Amino acid sequence: MAQIRHALNTKRADDFAAWYQEVISAAEMAEESGVRGCMVIRPWGYGIWERMQRLLDDRIKATGHSNAYFPIFIPLSNFEREAEHVEGFAKEMAVVTHHRLIAGPEGGLIPDPEAKLEEPLVVRPTSETIIGDAMARWVQSWRDLPLKLNQWANVVRWEMRTRMFLRTSEFLWQEGHTAHADEAEAREHTLTMLEVYRAFAEEDLSLPVIAGEKPENERFPGAVETWSIEAMMQDGKALQAGTSHYLGTNFAHASGIKYQNREGGESLCHTTSWGVSTRMVGGVIMTHGDDDGLRLPPKIAPQQVVILPMLRDKPEDDALVEYCEALRATLAAQFAVGEPIRVLLDTRPGKAAAKRWDWVRKGAPIIVEVGGRDMENGVVSLLRRDRLWDETTGKPDFQTPTRVEAGQSIPAILGDMQAAIFSEAQERREANITRGVTEFAEVEKFFAASRYPGWVEVQWSKPTGAELEQVVERLKALKLTMRNVPLGSRPADGVCIFTGKPAIERVLLAKAY
């Protein structure tokens, strides 16, 4: 087996965190902005987010929600009103105190002391309270229910330690908020949205996830139930990729979301909220990336096929571009994974080999190179990003179908890649979940045994109060958290690994982002 020279300097196995940063930089996905904690999302990274938005938005609309837009500023008093809410929330927020800049006494600009706001405004860390206010205005009668809203927006949480996509002061997300007449419907809707997230993650992002309920200590403050989807990164850590909360009547009570019921009396609504963010882009990188850069499932690739004519700044170039353009047009007229194929004929100046490796690092699913000889032979050189190397030769594993064959087979190859990249991640995850651990000492041993250890499923008695706190502390000492109690996991049949009492359910333990 030949030595392979990978496209990145850092290998996942050597330094996962440095590898992650290198992928982001080499794939031109994002970069530091110079503004504390905020990143610039570059066109390729934003293109991936746009694809995610489009696909998730379709799913959110298909489940009966409408998008709306609420102010970026939230009056300070809204946070005071929701004292409990704030308690659980980091109070690290961007606070607007002035509405004017003027020239300062020592030159430069300063906030105008004359333009101090009577009440400071907070840049939204989430829109719970302001959407709650609107719901209270819009809901009058049972006829107005359910009210199903969603917002795509930027939010700000002042973060001291940031990491691109995973934790930034400003990030992009969607936040869904719904109000229902009764508990059963609201609880059901919480799970409907969890399922929307699961399907989105698995079918669109090829990201295998485990959907389940968070333990009490991991609930969103004010929530009655918090559910999540959890994905395993290639370093074995968990990434919470989306959450769905059943909020009971807690938020309805705080915001006054009431309705006249069919009997003419007044009832509080039951509400839900749920969100996913640009964090999911980080999850895609850490699940699908390899030592050559990003790999993208076709559904979220801004370009699915990149055609690279090997131009030489000579008159023959025209014929080569024409030859490539025919393939581009053939592909653009076809569908793959449910949409018209996104194909780019890349004729920018630059060396073909350099351009090939740029597209490899960016994770374009299929790269088609075409040189003069290919054209003479009526073929193309096709590279699948998920099967990049010929392990025998240590060289890129080019296939050379005829141009006509390429035009016919590429739609199916894209469908195949969408599934293959999912299976690969799912098999890796399953291989890295250890079940049947019955002693806490084994847990310790498991997480000490390897650098990228994966997850452990244990049985527990679901304690509350001080007993739960003890569990959380013991896990914290190992830098572990309980991720969730998977939906549909086998019933408990043993004793609690923490308390020794009869177990109630199974819960996943992991290090997490």
Q: Which residues bind its own copies (CB under 8 A)?
A: 31, 33-36, 38-43, 46-47, 49-50, 66-77, 79-80, 86, 91-102, 108-112, 120-123, 130, 133-134, 137, 143, 149, 153-154, 156, 158, 170, 172, 348-350
Q: Which is nearer to its own copies, 121 or 194 (CB)?
A: 121
Q: How far is the CB of 233 from its own copies (least distance, A)?
A: 24
Q: By the 8 A CB rule, do 276 and 241 touch?
A: yes
Q: How far is the CB of 79 from its own copies (least distance, A)?
A: 6
Judged on CB neighbours under 10 Å (0-12, 13-18, 19+), 211 is buried
Q: How far is the CB of 43 from its own copies (least distance, A)?
A: 4
Task: Quote the tokens at residue 15.
Answer: 């330094």
Q: By the 8 A CB rule, do 309 and 350 touch?
A: no
Q: Which is nearer to its own copies, 129 or 381 (CB)?
A: 129
Q: By the 8 A CB rule, do 194 and 227 touch?
A: yes
Q: What angle do CA 102, 106, 108 make, to 5 degrees?
A: 45
Neighbours of 238 (CB within 10 A): 23
With residue 305 as reference, give the H or E element that holds it: strand 305-309
Q: Which is nearer to its own copies, 219 or 342 (CB)?
A: 342
- Residue by residue, DSSP assigns 422-490 as HHHHHHHHHHTEE-----HHHHHHHHHH-SS--EEEEEE----HHHHHHHHHHHHHTT-EE--EETTPP
> Cβ neighbours of residue 448 under 8 Å, at least 6 residues apart?
none
Q: Which single residue is written with the structure tokens 């679901």?
A: 462
Q: What angle do CA 164, 222, 463 make, to 5 degrees?
A: 95
Q: Which is nearer to its own copies, 181 or 194 (CB)?
A: 181
The residues with which 343 forms a beta bridge, in sequence order, are: 305
The residues with which 281 forms a beta bridge, in sequence order, are: none
Q: Which is nearer to its own copies, 161 or 451 (CB)?
A: 161
Q: Which is nearer to its own copies, 105 or 349 (CB)?
A: 349
Q: By the 8 A CB rule, do 94 and 122 touch?
A: yes
Q: Are strands 455-460 and 433-434 parallel, antiparallel or unpaired?
A: parallel
Minimal CA–CA distance to 352: which of 334, 371, 333, 365? 371
Q: How far is the CB of 200 from its own copies (least distance, A)?
A: 19
* DSSP annotation of 7: S
Q: How far is the CB of 78 from its own copies (least distance, A)?
A: 9
Q: How far is the CB of 258 from its own copies (least distance, A)?
A: 18
d(CA 202, CA 222): 29
Task: Quote the tokens at residue 65.
Answer: 């929600």
Task: Quote the tokens at residue 118.
Answer: 């009577």
Q: How far is the CB of 138 from its own copies (least distance, A)?
A: 8
> Cβ neighbours of residue 317 under 8 Å, at least 6 residues apart?
309, 311
Q: Which is nearer to its own copies, 33 or 400 (CB)?
A: 33
Q: How far is the CB of 329 from its own copies (least distance, A)?
A: 16
Q: Which is nearer to its own copies, 154 or 408 (CB)?
A: 154
> Cβ neighbours of residue 263 under 8 Å, at least 6 residues apart?
none
Q: How far is the CB of 180 from its own copies (least distance, A)?
A: 15
Q: Which is nearer to its own copies, 181 or 382 (CB)?
A: 181
Q: By three-state DSSP, how is residue 225 classified?
A: strand
> Cβ neighbours of residue 322 under 8 Å, at least 6 residues apart?
none
Q: How far is the CB of 434 from its own copies (least distance, A)?
A: 39
d(CA 136, CA 460): 40
CA 45 to chain centre: 12
Q: Which is nearer to its own copies, 133 or 203 (CB)?
A: 133
Q: Which is nearer to its own copies, 354 or 466 (CB)?
A: 354
Q: Which is nearer to its own copies, 70 or 246 (CB)?
A: 70
Q: How far is the CB of 50 from its own copies (least distance, A)?
A: 6
Q: How far is the CB of 70 from its own copies (least distance, A)?
A: 5
